[in-house]
A = this chain, B = another copy of it.
Amino acid sequence: MTPEQRLKELNITLPEVPEPKAIYKPCLIDGRHLYVSGHVPMRADFTRIRGKVGADMDVEEAKQMARLVGMLILSSIRKHVGSLDKVKRVIKVLGFVNGVPDFDKHPIVINGCSELFAEIWGPENGIGVRSAVGMGSLPDGIPVEVEALFELIEPAS
């Protein structure tokens, strides 16, 4: 099965992504690499979902937020390259968690995104290197943000 077929089988409909308001590109292709900007949890109307993990939100809720961020990343990729089938594998994930100062379950939170990628690209190609770290604050008070690097099947011409 291809990534798009897996997405369909999992019955996942990807959310829309907004145009960037700040000065960045959501995705950028460099040869056979696809760089993805930090993505953030938002509602269908693009308003951001706020929450400090360990205070306003527990670990399981934050993990669901990370899964949502993963779906927004998939949506940005499809918008940029046309199909998830053009992506060969995950190379790197950097997950930022906005937790209280003694929060210590960052890997469980970021697994929400990593599990999604593993479902779409499989246990070998869907899992890359990763760091999951705790921030002092995040834009719009969001609980989690994820940036990533993927390898394309073919380099862009």
Chain A residues packing against B (C-beta within 8 Å): 21-28, 30, 35-38, 52, 91-94, 96-108, 110-111, 114-115, 118, 127-141, 145, 147, 151
> Given the interface contacts A35-B91, A35-B92, A91-B30, does A22 sit within 8 Å of B139 by beta carbon?
no
**Chain A facing B: main interface SS:** mixed
- The contact sample of 7 A-B pairs, CB cut-off 8 A, is A22-B114, A23-B114, A35-B128, A38-B132, A99-B136, A103-B136, A135-B135
Cα separation A115 to B23 with both chains bound (whole Å): 7
Q: Are B24 and A114 in touch, CB under 8 angstroms? A: yes
Q: Are A127 and B93 in touch, CB under 8 angstroms? A: no
Q: Are B139 and A105 in touch, CB under 8 angstroms? A: yes
